[in-house]
Amino acid sequence: NIKLDSVISDIMGVAGRAILGGLIAGERDPERLAALAKTPIKATKAQLAAALTGRVRENHVILLRLHLEQIAALEGAIATIDQEVEKKSAPFRQLIDILDSIPGIGPLAASILLSEIGTDMSRFPSHAHLISWAGMCPRNDESAGKRRSTRMRKGAPWLKTVLIQCAWAAIKQKGCYFQAQYRRLKARRGAKKAIGAVAASLLTCAYHMISNGTYYEDLGADHFEKRQSEGRQIKKLVERFAALGYDVEIKPITA
């Protein structure tokens, strides 16, 4: 009968747990419960006290205690698994650090990538074979010369999920190649296709970095502009101005 989650985004955080602990201990005064939140939160003490005004009965306290005990047990199990994963990952620490240098990929994602694709890239003749095996490329759904679908083919589900999550994180880093790639493709193919292409690029980087034992070196946000010839860049800019309703005459600047 209280509305704690309306004023605290994470009720399992430090402030939320302190208040829940006070309720279990028998405290019912809203202002005293609000004072238990020592860590900074967006809500004021008055708003917190108003949210804690309600009827907390004995059966509510029993259920609350049971829920917190279940959460504590799950957290303990997760901590045990994390320790075991950390122990098993020790021989591959250098490769994890190498993959961690890729934008959007952290230590946990790097461990998952290694567990899914392994450390021996000689099993894949090229990065394209790895991308195909992972299901990060469009499936071959063509009939009578017409492509009916460009959806990704089925592959390793855990690997694809992690790569897509890493791709969303990578495009948020300003001035990096992946952000430029996403913006370039999104304008023509849409957000889903663009993020899939970024995920495939991340896997391509992982393939070559694991094979060569090298760290990531970003190509830069202006990589695609550098690849274009001067004439092509001029043509694209003129086309943009024409689309906006302007007629442009190109003249070279005299020295």
Tens digit of pLDDT for each residue in 184-241? 889 888 888 899 999 999 999 999 999 999 999 988 877 777 766 667 777 878 888 8
Q: Calculate what percentage of the chain has a pLDDT beyond 90.
A: 40
Establish how many alpha carbons lie within 13 A of residue 112's alpha carbon, considering only the half-sphere containing its beta carbon.
Answer: 18
pLDDT at 98 over 90: yes
Which pLDDT value is given to residue 86?
87
123-165 residue pLDDT tens: 999 999 999 888 887 655 555 566 555 566 667 788 999 999 9
3-class DSSP state of 24: helix
pTM of the model: 0.67
pLDDT at 33 over 70: yes
Integer angstrom CA distances of residue 84 from 78, 88, 199, 230 = 10, 6, 28, 55
Which pLDDT value is given to residue 99?
95
Which pLDDT value is given to residue 165?
95
**Separation CA 197–CA 131 (nearest Å):** 10
Which pLDDT value is given to residue 137?
76
Which pLDDT value is given to residue 255?
58
Under 8 Å between Cβ of 38 and 15: yes
**Separation CA 68–CA 14 (nearest Å):** 13
Which pLDDT value is given to residue 253?
76
Establish how many alpha carbons lie within 13 A of residue 46's alpha carbon, considering only the half-sphere containing its beta carbon.
Answer: 0
Locus of tokens 């759904």: 141
Which pLDDT value is given to residue 54?
84
End-to-end CA distance of the chain: 78
Binned at pLDDT 50, 70 and 90, residue 169 comes out as very high
pLDDT at 78 over 90: yes
Least confident of 43-52, 70-79, 104-113: 43-52
Which pLDDT value is given to residue 146?
64
pLDDT at 56 over 70: yes
DSSP single-letter state for residue 252? P
Under 8 Å between Cβ of 165 and 207: no
More reliable by pLDDT, 136 or 72: 72
Establish how many alpha carbons lie within 13 A of residue 161's alpha carbon, considering only the half-sphere containing its beta carbon.
Answer: 5
Side chain identity at residue 13, one-letter code:
G
* Mean predicted confidence (pLDDT) in 4-27: 86
Side chain identity at residue 120, one-letter code:
D
pLDDT at 16 over 80: yes
Which pLDDT value is given to residue 145?
61
Q: Calculate what percentage of the chain has a pLDDT beyond 70.
A: 91
**Separation CA 39–CA 15 (nearest Å):** 6
